[in-house]
Structure 1
Amino acid sequence: MPSASRAGDPKEGDVNRALVVVPTYDERENLPIVIARTLAATGDDVHLLIVDDASPDGTGALADELAADEPRMHVLHRAGKEGLGPAYLAGFAWGLERGYDAIVEMDADGSHHPEDLPRLLAQLADHDLALGSRWVPGGRVENWPRRRLLLSRGGNWYTRVALGIDVRDATGGFRAFRAKALRRIRLQDVASHGYCFQVDLVWRALQSGLRVVEVPIVFTERVLGVSKMDGAIVLESLRLVAWWGLRRRVRAAYELVVHHRRLGSVRANSSRVDAV
């Protein structure tokens, strides 16, 4: 399997300013807690962008109120709920246009610990993408039922086998990108909307030869609000990963056939020269 990291590559510039992108939909209860913890855990060079998909519970309006008194906080309002992927892509575009050196994905439900942000960002000194991982040594999940644990572990095992990648937690949503890395993975071609979006970006990063590292984190099940995970999201992930895996195998088989044909042609030409 391809390695999840590449050592010895040159650095692509310092990471001075980072933007933490937090998509929200009906997270009014969690939002003030997540914002306070994020701002407390980071310095003035880390800003926060709330991307709200017109939450019926008033999350967007509350975000505006909180941002009015906090220069490190920004709010991006979208017309409606379109899924996790489009919300993150909108946040990435916002951050790239404003010249941030790093962009971070983080959930709004409190499952990701903002106190881990400095460790993720520190890894960008030597890597292009730092994945907050639940399934590497030192990482763990708190308060998850057995069904969710099995689903997550099984989904990540399935992804590793289908795509041939050496990443233990490709589905996690707590990660930090260098801005230059995001520009290299052709975000305009990303079509996945649900949680498969996370696998999509890791897959694209590895295919682009980016330096990827997994950083152990503690993931805590939400206490407030309702999870947005449903059966349709799981089915989308299974379908897309299966398609990407099949496409990878077909491409590898085609390249093998081309290689053998070229080798056979070289041998045939060599035989004709020897006969002369």
Structure 2
Amino acid sequence: MKDSLVIIPTYNEKENIAEIIHAVLAQPSGFELLIVDDNSPDGTADIVKGLFSEYPDRLHIEERTGKLGLGTAYIHGFRWALARHYEYIFEMDADFSHPPESLNELYNACKKDGYDVAIGSRYVTGVNVVNWPMSRVMLSFFASYYVRIVTGMPFRDTTAGFKCYRRKVLETIDLEKIRFMGYAFQIEMKFLAWKFGFKITEVPIIFTDRTKGKSKMSGGIIKEAVLGVMQIKVSSLFRSYRKEHEDGLEQQVA
């Protein structure tokens, strides 16, 4: 079984991609890295492939046919990772908003401390955000609070996109049934891991807004999250997560 894989979805990240690759693969935990590129017209994929010789067997790329959404990119990466038997699987952005050195802390939380999911949290020790206008800080903070109230999840940063999963979490969650592909994808994945009873922790990070490239945030993404939270909660009332988890364990043993 392979140890750990970091998944980074990309669309037009030529300003950041080489630097983030070097930063991730320089970490002492010895991660491998998968870039899932959505046919970036700016040549992001070509930059990645140009670095293959520098990182043989550690740097990988999956190229998709178009801009298909954040959630589908991560699900594509999850399936790729599960098929190759990685034990620890990470989500991370390309723009340095998620500090590469914090990958080691997420990894240790799962491998050494025994957690099933480690969340890189902006809010577990206050508000650790750099370069955001106050309006966006408040929007993000209260969005996370809103999610906690509606869903009952105990986490401070419910919308975080920087995470480490043990493979058994992704094997238990039916990736075919994930309904949200934008901002709400991150909420849905946490909610399912929590409802299935996995052991989850928050690791404090310093989140720094991108300085290069263009943000992918939009009003439509925020709207999906606000409405999606209610749908996630309502649909959960009609599911037996314990039974689904037990059935999944039986299938894995078989």
Name the TM-score, length of structure 1 as normaliser. 0.82
SS of alignment partner, residue 131 of structure 1: strand
The partner residue of 2:13 within 8, 27, 34 is 27
Aligned mate of 2:140, from 152, 168, 182: 152
What amino acid sits opposite 1:175 in the alignment? Answer: K
- Count of residues paired in the alignment: 236
8 A contact 1:112–1:219 mirrored in 2: yes
- Look up the match of 1:80: 66
1:168 equivalenced with 2:156 (yes/no):
yes
Shift of 1:66: 1.2
1:30/1:109 contact within 8 Å kept: yes
1:91-134 deviations in whole A, cap 9, x for unaligned? 01111111100100000011111101111001113110000000
The residue type equivalent to 2:34 in the other structure is L
| Pairwise CA distance, 1:243 | 1.8
The offset of 1:32, in angstroms, is 1.0
d(CA) in 1 for partners of 2:127 and 2:32? Answer: 26
Work out whether 1:200 is the aligned partner of 2:183: no
Alignment of 1:220-239 (within 5 A): 220-239=208-227
Counterpart CA distance in 2 for 1:202 and 1:42 is: 27
Letter in 2 for 1:204: L
CA distance in 1, matches of 2:234, 2:61: 40
Give the match for residue 25 of structure 2.
Answer: 39
For residues 115-194 of structure 1, the aligned pairs below 5 Å read: 115-125=101-111, 126-137=114-125, 140-194=128-182
Q: Partners of 1:112 and 1:78 in 2: how far apart?
A: 24
Aligned residue number for residue 50 of structure 1: 35
Whole-Å separation in 2 of the counterparts to 1:167 and 1:76: 32
SS at match of 2:50: helix
8 Å contact from structure 2 (residues 110, 117) kept in 1: yes
Pick from 182, 192, 211 the counterpart of residue 199 of structure 2.
Answer: 211
Instruction: Please say if residues 29 and 104 of structure 2, whose CA atoms lie closer than 8 Å, have aligned partners that are also in contact.
Output: no
Residue type matched to 2:203 in 1?
V
Query: How far did 1:251 drift?
Result: 5.1
Conservation of the 8 A alpha-carbon contact between 2:124 and 2:204: yes
Decide which of 227, 237, 242 is 2:230's aligned counterpart: 242
1:89 aligns with 2:75: yes
Deviation of 1:170 (Å): 1.2
Kept in 2, the 8 Å contact 1:138–1:216? The answer is no
Q: Which runs of at least 4 in structure 1 moved beyond 3 Å after TM superposition? A: none
Structure 1 segment 107-118 matched on structure 2, within 5 A:
107-118=93-104
Give the match for residue 45 of structure 2. 60
Q: Cα offset for 1:245?
A: 2.6
Does the C-alpha gap of structure 1 residues 97 and 251 become closer, same or farther in structure 2, counting only changes over 3 Å? closer
- Aligned CA distance change for structure 1 residues 138 and 164 (closer, same or farther; 3 Å): closer
TM-fit CA distance, 1:244:
2.1
What is the alpha-carbon distance in structure 1 between the residues aligned to residue 221 and residue 188 of structure 2? 14
Q: How many angstroms apart in 1 are the aligned matches of 2:233 and 2:81?
A: 31
Contact 1:138 1:217 in 2 (8 A): no
Counterpart-to-counterpart distance in 1, 2:66 and 2:116: 31
Cα deviation, residue 138, structure 1: 6.4
C-alpha contact 2:6 2:89 (8 A) present in aligned 1: yes
Deviations 1:211-236 (A, max 9, x none): 11000001001000010000000011
Structure 2 counterpart SS, 1:227: coil
Cα RMSD, aligned residues only = 1.6
SS of 2:198's equivalent?
coil
Instruction: Give CA deviations for 1:190-209 in whole Å, capped at 9, x if unaligned.
Output: 12110111001000001101
Which has the larger displacement, 15-24 or 199-208?
A: 15-24
C-alpha distance in structure 2 between counterparts of 1:94 and 1:127, whole Å: 22
Q: Find the aligned partners of 1:92 and 1:111 in 2 and give their Cα distance.
A: 21
